[in-house]
Amino acid sequence: MSVLVTGGLGYIGSHTCVELMNAGAEVVVVDNLYNCKKSSYDRIKALVGRDFKFYECDIRDAEGLNKIFENEDIDSVIHFAGLKAVGESVQKPLEYFDNNVNGTLVLLDVMRKHGCKKIVFSSSATVYGMNNVSPLTEDMQVGGVTNPYGRTKYMIECILQDLCVSDKEWSVCLLRYFNPIGAHKSGTMGEDPNGIPNNLMPYITQVAIGKREKLTVYGDDYDTHDGTGVRDYIHVVDLALGHLKAVEKVRGENGLFIYNLGTGIGYSVLDVVKAFEKASGVEISYQIGPRRAGDIATCYSDPGKALNELGWKAERDIEEMCEDSWRWQSQNPTGYPD
C-alpha cells in the first residue's frame, strides 16, 4: 500500500517524503514542478537511500491522475500541491482558485473512482482569520479570511467536510499549519523560494548569505512584547512527522479530523532575528517599515488536540530551526540545482 503525495517535491512535501520512507512507508509522488526543481527528487532519494516513484503530472489532469491510480496500489493521499503566495493570490485569483480548488476537486473525483477515500490536507492557520484570539483552537470559528489564497484553503476545508457528510467511507484529516521554517539536518533539503521571499525566515537567510541587503520588519507598533508581529514557528521536520500520525489516523478510522500543527509558542520578528544571529553567528541588518496589509499582531496555536488524539508534539526549538535553516542556505546559496 502506498501513500500518494501530491506536491511531494516542494518544501514541506519533500521533508514529509523522507520521514514517511524512513518509517518504512511506500511513497508515490505527483508534482508538476511548478514551484520546485527536479533535483529535490534526487536529494530525497539520496537521504532515504532508495528509489521511489515520481510522476510529473498536474493534479488538474484527471487522465494523468487516473493512470497513476491504475498503475500504483494507493490507499491514501497527502495533498500538498497548491499555490501558496498570499500577495500573488490577490493579483491572480483565478489561477489560485483553479489550481487549488479545482485541482482538489479533480483529485477527489479520481480518488473516489478508485475507491481511495483517505486524505490528509495541508490547510493553514490562515483559516482562523483576523478575529480569533490566540492560542487558536480547532473549535474556533473559521472563514474570516482576507485573501484569495486563504479562501482557497477555507473552501477546500468546506468541500472536504461536505464530502464526509455525504459518504461515511471517507476519512479526512485537515492539518492547519502554523509557520513552517527550518530544513533537514543534512543541509541538503530546505525551502527554495522563487524570487524575493515573501516569508520571514527565507528573507533572513538571504540577508545572511549576502543575497539581500537588509530585512524590512513590517511594523513595530503592534500590541506585542516588542511591537513586532508574533507567530508560531514550527520546524518542518516536526511538521513532516505530524503527517505520519495523520496518515495513521485516516488509515485507521473514518470521519473528519482537524488538527493544528504548531508549537504553541509565539516569537516576534525581532525574537527570530536574534535567535538566527545566535545560531548562525551572522548579524542581520534590518530596518523598520510600515505594517504589511492583512497581517495580524499575534497568531499561535494551542497544539493540545494533536497531542491528545495523535500523540504528536513538536520537539525542535527555535534555535534548532534557525541552525537548520542556516545550514541549508549556507550549503546551497542558490537553492536546489537546475
Q: How far, in Å, CA of 233 to CA of 177, rounded?
A: 10
Report the residue from 199, 209, 277, 284 that binds ligand UFG according to the rule CB under 6 A. Answer: 199
Contact of residue 295 among ligand NAD, ligand UFG, none (CB under 5-8 Å per partner type): ligand UFG
Cell of 181: 521554517
Asked if 292 touches ligand NAD (CB under 6 A), the answer is: no
Write the burial class of residue 165 (CB in 10 Å: 0-12 exposed, 13-18 middle, 19+ buried): exposed
- Estimate the crossing angle of helix 103-113 against helix 62-71, to 10 degrees: 40
Site string for ligand NAD, 15-44 (x = CB under 6 A): ----------------xxxxxx--------
Report yes or no: 289 and 204 within 8 Å, Cβ to Cβ.
no
Determine, following the binding rule CB under 6 A, whether residue 206 of this chain makes contact with ligand UFG.
no
229 contacts ligand UFG (rule: CB under 6 A): yes
Distance CA 136, CA 330 (A): 34
Q: Which three cell numbers stand for residue 287?
A: 530596518
Residues 81-110 that bind ligand NAD (CB under 6 A): 81-84, 99, 103
Give the residue at shortest CB distance from ligand UFG.
229
One of 11, 41, 128, 149 is an active-site residue; which one? 149
Residue 124 binds ligand UFG, judged by CB under 6 A: yes
Q: Pick the closer one to ligand NAD by CB: 8 or 219.
A: 8
Q: Are 80 and 13 in contact (CB under 8 A)?
A: yes
SS3 155: helix
Buried b (16+ CB within 10 A) or exposed e, 271-306: bbbbbbeebbeeebebeeeeeeeeebbbbbbbbebb
Kindly state the smallest distance separating residue 262's Cβ from ligand UFG, in Å: 9
Q: Which residues pair with 261 in a beta bridge?
A: 177
Q: Using the rule CB under 6 A, give the single segment among 93-101, 157-165, 193-201, 237-245 that binds ligand UFG.
A: 193-201
Residue of 154, 160, 155, 152 whose CA lies nearest to 111: 160
218 binds, among ligand NAD, ligand UFG, none (CB under 5 to 8 A by kind): ligand UFG
**Residue 227: strand, helix, or coil:** coil
Residues 117-146 that bind ligand NAD (CB under 6 A): 122, 124
Residue among 76 and 122 whose Cβ is closer to ligand UFG: 122
Pick what 103 binds: ligand UFG, ligand NAD, none; C-beta below 5 to 8 Å, kind-dependent.
ligand NAD
CB of 300 to ligand NAD, least distance (A): 14
Q: How far apart are CA 230 and CA 272, in angstroms?
A: 10
Report residue 189: phi and psi, to 5°.
-135, 140
Total interface residues for ligand UFG by CB under 6 A: 21
Smallest gap from residue 168 Cβ to ligand NAD (A): 26
Q: What share of the chain is helix, strand, coil (3-state, %, to 5)?
A: 40, 20, 40
Residue with Cβ nearer ligand NAD (53 or 60): 60
Annotated active-site residue 149? The verdict is yes
The CB density around residue 166, as the number of other CB atoms within 10 Å, is: 9
**Of 69, 80, 300, 312, which one interacts with ligand NAD (CB under 6 A)?**
80
- Judged by CB under 6 A, the residue of 22, 102, 132, 216 near ligand UFG is 216
Active site residues: 149
Where on the chain is the footprint of ligand NAD (CB under 6 A)?
6-7, 9-13, 31-36, 58-60, 80-84, 99, 103, 122, 124, 177, 179-180
Where on the chain is the footprint of ligand UFG (CB under 6 A)?
84, 86, 124-126, 177-179, 198-200, 203, 215-218, 229, 231, 269, 292, 295
